[in-house]
Amino acid sequence: MQRRAQDIYTLPLMDLLFRAQTVHRETFDPNRIQCAKLLSIKTGGCAEDCSYCAQSARNGSKLSASKLMEVQKVLAEAQKAKDSGATRYCMGAAWRSPKERDMPTILAMVEGVKALGLETCMTLGMLDDTQVVQLKTAGLDYYNHNIDTSESFYPSVISTHSFADRLDTLNRVRAAGINVCSGGIVGLGEATEDRISMIQTLADLPEPPQSVPINMLMPMADTPLANVAPLDPIEMVRTIATARILMPKSYVRLSAGRSAMSDELQAMCFFAGANSIFVGDTLLTAENPDDSADARLFAKLGLQPEAPRRCGDAA
Ligand code: SAM
Ligand code: DTB
Ligand code: SF4
C-alpha cells in the first residue's frame, strides 16, 4: 500500500493539486475553513524527549513548568474563543500521560467546555483503558495524539516512547468511540519517504483519523532541532495534498507554522485540501497569526469560517 501514497506524493505538482482539490470538493465546501483554538492547560516540564518540543524538560528549554490550570480559568478562555468564532476547543498538557489525581479536573474541563457548545478536544499524552472510558463518558469529542513521522524515523526524533506506544493509544481512543485527531510534523530533517510513510500509516489505520493536523516544524530555541535546515514549503503542500486524497472525508489541518508562511503558501495549502486551522495568536507555547491577520487572509481569499456543527452531525 506504501506505493499509493508514493505515487500520489510524487505526481507533477499541477496534477497533484488538481486531484486533491477535486477530491476535496466531493465532500467539503472549498471556501469554508474550520477554526479550532488551542489552550495549554499544563505547560512545560515534560518528562519526554521529543526533540522538536519546547516543553520537554530534557531539551534544556528555558520554559518554566506550570501547574494544571483551574477549571474556571479554562472555561473563561473557552468562552472567549467561542465569542471569537472558534468551533473546536483543544486543550493540551505537557505530559507523558495523565496522572490519576489529575483526571477529575480534566473531566470537569471536558464537561464544562462541551456545555458552552464547543466541540472538545484534548491532547494529554498516552492513555490507558480506564482513562479513555472516563474521557468518553465526560463527553470528549476528539483526542489528539500524533504519530508525528514515519515508524523508521521516529526513534531519531523521540526515545522515551515508541511509535507502537502511539498506535496503542490511538487504538484505545478509537475503541472507546472518541474521534481520532492524528497527524504529524514535517521539517524534522526527515526524508521524503518518511513523509510519505507517515501519511500512508494514517490512511491505513482501521479508520482514517477524523482530523489530520499537519504541522510545519517551528524551530524552538534550545531544542535539538533549533537549527535544522528549513524544509522546502512545496513538500508541506505535497504532504497536505496526499493526506487529502488518501483521507477524503477527514479534516486536514494546516496546523503549527503558519506564522512563518506567506499568504500565498497558506492559499496553496488550502487549495491542496487543508480545511482547518488553529486561530488566535498563541498555539501551546509558540506564536500563531493573530485574529486580524487571519481576518485579512480570509477576506483576501474569500474564505469563511465553518459554521458551528449541530450535535450529532458527522465529524
Ligand atoms: N504531550 C502531548 C503529546 O505529545 O501528545 C500533547 C502535546 S504535543 C505538544 C502535540 C503535538 O504538537 C506534537 O505531537 C507535535 O506534532 C506538535 N508540536 C510540538 N512542538 C512543535 C513544534 N515546535 N513545531 C511543530 N509542531 C510541534
Ligand atoms: C497539533 O498537531 N499541533 C498542535 C496541537 N496538535 C496540540 C500543537 C502545536 C504546537 C506548536 C508548538 C508550541 O506551541 O509549542
Ligand atoms: Fe512532552 Fe508532548 Fe512535548 Fe513530547 S510533544 S515533549 S510528550 S509535551
Nearest ligand to the CA atom of 214: 2
Please give the average per-residue pLDDT across 19-30, as a whole number: 98
Give ligand 3 pocket residues (Cβ under 6 A).
Answer: 46, 48, 50, 53, 55-56, 94, 96, 125
Provide the residue count of the chain. Answer: 315
What pLDDT score does 310 carry?
A: 42
Burial class for 301, CB neighbours closer than 10 Å (0-12, 13-18, 19+): middle
Please give the average per-residue pLDDT across 50-75, as a whole number: 90
Distance, CA of 274 to CA of 245 (rounded, Å): 11
Band the pLDDT of 14: cuts 50, 70, 90.
very high
DSSP for 63-76, written as a single string: PPP-PPPPHHHHHH
What pLDDT score does 185 carry?
A: 98
pLDDT digits (tens, 9 = 90+) for 180-214: 999 999 999 999 999 999 999 999 999 999 999 99
Please give the average per-residue pLDDT across 31-36, as a whole number: 95
What pLDDT score does 271 carry?
A: 98
Tell which atom from ligand 1 comes closest to the C-alpha of 53. Answer: 20
Residue in the block written with cell 458552552: 116
| pLDDT surpasses 90 at 37 | yes
Ligand 2 and 59: CB distance under 6 A: no
| pLDDT surpasses 90 at 289 | yes
Band the pLDDT of 18: cuts 50, 70, 90.
very high
Ligand 2 and 54: CB distance under 6 A: yes
Band the pLDDT of 30: cuts 50, 70, 90.
very high
Full-model pTM = 0.96
What pLDDT score does 223 carry?
A: 94
Catalytic residues: 46, 50, 53, 90, 121, 181, 253
Tell which atom from ligand 2 comes closest to the C-alpha of 123. Answer: 7
Distance, CA of 132 to CA of 123 (rounded, Å): 12
Contacts 24+ apart (CB under 8 A), 101-109: 102/68, 103/131, 103/134, 105/68, 105/70, 105/71, 106/135, 107/134, 107/135, 107/137, 107/138, 108/71, 109/41, 109/71, 109/74, 109/75
94 CA distance to ligand 1 middle (Å): 9
Closest C-alpha to ligand 3, atom 2: 94
Kind plus residue range of the DSSP H or E element containing 88:
strand 88-93
Closest C-alpha to ligand 3, atom 8: 94
Ligand 2 and 213: CB distance under 6 A: yes
Please give the average per-residue pLDDT across 20-24, as a whole number: 98
pLDDT digits (tens, 9 = 90+) for 218-259: 999 999 999 999 999 999 999 999 999 999 999 999 999 999
Report all structural domains of the chain as residue ranges with CATH numbers, in order of start: 2-10+18-305 (3.20.20.70)
Percent of the chain with pLDDT over 90: 91
Q: What is the DSSP letter of 56?
A: B
What pLDDT score does 2 carry?
A: 56
Q: Could you tell me the CA-to-CA distances from 314 to 98, 249, 257, 268 in Å, in that order?
A: 28, 10, 28, 27
pLDDT digits (tens, 9 = 90+) for 253-287: 999 999 999 999 999 999 999 999 999 999 999 99
Please give the average per-residue pLDDT across 98-111, as a whole number: 97
306 CA distance to ligand 2 middle (Å): 21
Ligand 2 and 255: CB distance under 6 A: yes
Please give the average per-residue pLDDT across 31-60, as a whole number: 93
What pLDDT score does 63 carry?
A: 79
Band the pLDDT of 308: cuts 50, 70, 90.
low
Distance, CA of 223 to CA of 185 (rounded, Å): 15
Q: What is the mean pLDDT of the chain?
A: 94
- Please indicate whether residue 86 or residue 159 has the higher confidence score (pLDDT): 159
User: Coil, strand, or helix at residue 280?
Assistant: coil
| pLDDT surpasses 80 at 307 | no
Please give the average per-residue pLDDT across 104-132, as a whole number: 97
What pLDDT score does 62 carry?
A: 72
| pLDDT surpasses 70 at 295 | yes
| pLDDT surpasses 50 at 312 | no
Of 208, 218, 300, the residue nearest 257 (C-alpha): 218
Distance, CA of 284 to CA of 307 (rounded, Å): 24
Distance, CA of 188 to CA of 236 (rounded, Å): 12
Exposure string over 144-177, b if 16+ CB within 10 A, otherwise e: bbbbbbbbebbeebbeebebebbbbbbebbbebe
Band the pLDDT of 84: cuts 50, 70, 90.
confident
Distance, CA of 6 to CA of 199 (rounded, Å): 10
| pLDDT surpasses 80 at 3 | no
Band the pLDDT of 60: cuts 50, 70, 90.
confident
